[in-house]
Amino acid sequence: MSFESLGLRAELLRAVSEKNYTEPSPIQKQAIPLILEGRDIMGGAQTGTGKTAGFTLPMLQRLMQSDKPGKGRRPIRALVLTPTRELAAQVHESVQTYGRYLPLKSTVVFGGVSINPQKMKLIKGVDILVATPGRLLDHVSQNSVNLSKVDILILDEADRMLDMGFIRDIRKVLALLPKQKQTLLFSATFSTEIKTLANGLLTNPAVVEVARRNTASESVAQIVHPVDKIRKRELLSHLIGINNWKQVLVFTRTKHGANRLAEQLTTDGITSAAIHGNKSQGARTRALADFKSSKVRVLVATDIAARGLDIDQLPHVVNFELPNVAEDYVHRIGRTGRAGNVGEAMSLVCVDELKLLKDIERLIKREIPKNIIEGYEPDPTIKAEPINKGRDSKPKHNKRASSKRSTHKRSGTPPPPHISKNSRSKRSAARTH
Ligand code: AMP
């Protein structure tokens, strides 16, 4: 099947052919015709499946088809919400890339950077706005956006937005949108929370789902190296050195741990940068750019910071520490082995983490091969200690929820009863970012 046969207009086909895509990915084949028909979509797809083009191309086409706005400032007609700044920037880049031959205007807003330049762009008028929920509400409260003309709403990585505590912000945004609109919801998982959100939001949705491009069993070779906690850093430097790895994504559980490891590796002579939620937007963008351009060999990331990063064909992913939540392991190793290449996911596991490893193996329904590296044999006399679940993490509520805005009088959508406080806080306690 070709992009031409999906019914996309010439300007979009031209932009796609310049990206050298030969054929649409499975999610694109399924979603594009349905979105062009105007259907609401419940999309099961994670980063790496081509989902961004899957919603961006038909969104652009529908904006071109719908009534041209009259005179005056152009209203926002398409709104894309994403959980993280990086994902917002990447989605906006796609909007610009695929829309380069169309007379549509777009911009992106996210927190961590000055609000005024964003306001200036919004004031000039855009057809498409890509935003993280918190900063979008900042603009709402400062009257720099009007969402009353939105025809298409896209929630990207909705599961992650809920995990990050954005549900209240999302509901506030929804209250500002017209009832009549097309809604596309994408999520890597269909939890009960997501289904409840979707039920209230989507009308007769078409469900499109693609298997994870990198299921734990297929395109990723996984291995566990048992090692004592205090020797992990030494082993990692050793592995990077002897294998001469040029580009490695390393996961730690905490922001503090990410910083410390990046510093230690740099001391070992391995150029490294850390990326996590406490870094300024500029620092995160720089770290990612340096990693992509191979200026730094190792990017140390926490789970939430790494989600949605579009780094093509990453050959090596290392779990310096196993995640507290088994599903995050699958997300982490999904960063490698893209586009049909076999990737390698390696986990350095100490005695404290054996239970986490069991949970992961239960989730992926197979045992991960173990290999003890000579010279790094674990000391059998060391006893397991409880894992510090994010010493440096604050209660995992989205900062927004406790920010000054939330003390404002709200239009008042209490958290829906289906998301029990309990289930949220349990997950919160288990995750750090
Ligand atoms: P996404 O899942 O949207 O984050 O996309 C993952 C990567 O796949 C991005 O680098 C896209 O540029 C790329 N991509 C999207 N669609 C296609 C396609 N049809 N053929 C090849 N690569 C694609």
Residues 350 and 416 in one domain: no
pLDDT bucket at 193, cuts 50 / 70 / 90: confident
pLDDT bucket at 218, cuts 50 / 70 / 90: low
270 domain-assigned: yes
pLDDT tens-digit readout, 6-60: 999 999 999 999 998 889 998 999 999 999 999 999 998 877 788 999 999 999 9
Residues 183 and 251 in one domain: no
347 domain-assigned: yes
Domain interval for residue 416: 398-431
112 domain-assigned: yes
Residues 259 and 186 in one domain: no
pLDDT value at position 337? 64
- Looking at 209, 234, 253, which one is the last position of a domain? 209
Q: How far apart are alpha carbons 257 and 251 in whole angstroms?
A: 9
54 domain-assigned: yes
- Looking at 209, 239, 255, which one is the last position of a domain? 209
Residues 321 and 266 in one domain: yes
pLDDT value at position 305? 74
385 domain-assigned: no
- The CATH number linked to 328 is 3.40.50.300
- Looking at 182, 209, 236, which one is the last position of a domain? 209
Residues 354 and 306 in one domain: yes
Residues 184 and 39 in one domain: yes
**CB-ligand 1 contact for 24 (6 Å cutoff):** yes
Residues 15 and 147 in one domain: yes
pLDDT value at position 270? 95
What's the 50 CA to ligand 1 centre distance in angstroms?
Answer: 4
Mean predicted lDDT score pLDDT of the chain: 85
389 domain-assigned: no
pLDDT value at position 237? 95
Choose from 143-152, 197-206, 396-405 the range with maximum mean pLDDT: 143-152
What's the 260 CA to ligand 1 centre distance in angstroms?
Answer: 33
Choose from 233-237, 292-296, 403-407 the range with maximum mean pLDDT: 233-237
pLDDT value at position 413? 34
Q: State percent of the chain over pLDDT 90.
A: 60
Relative to beta strand 41-44, strand 206-209 is parallel
**Mean pLDDT of the 143-147 span:** 96
Residues 136 and 278 in one domain: no
pLDDT at 427 > cutoff 80: no
Residues 253 and 200 in one domain: no
Q: State percent of the chain over pLDDT 70.
A: 83
Q: Tell me how far the alpha carbon of residue 297 is from its chain's centroid.
A: 22
Q: How far apart are alpha carbons 317 and 296 in whole angstroms?
A: 15
**CB-ligand 1 contact for 49 (6 Å cutoff):** yes
Residues 236 and 360 in one domain: yes
Q: What is the pTM of this model?
A: 0.61
How many independent structural domains does the chain possess? Answer: 3
**CB-ligand 1 contact for 45 (6 Å cutoff):** no
Residues 189 and 228 in one domain: no
pLDDT tens-digit readout, 360-417: 988 887 889 999 999 999 999 998 888 866 444 343 444 444 443 433 333 333 333 3
Residues 258 and 284 in one domain: yes
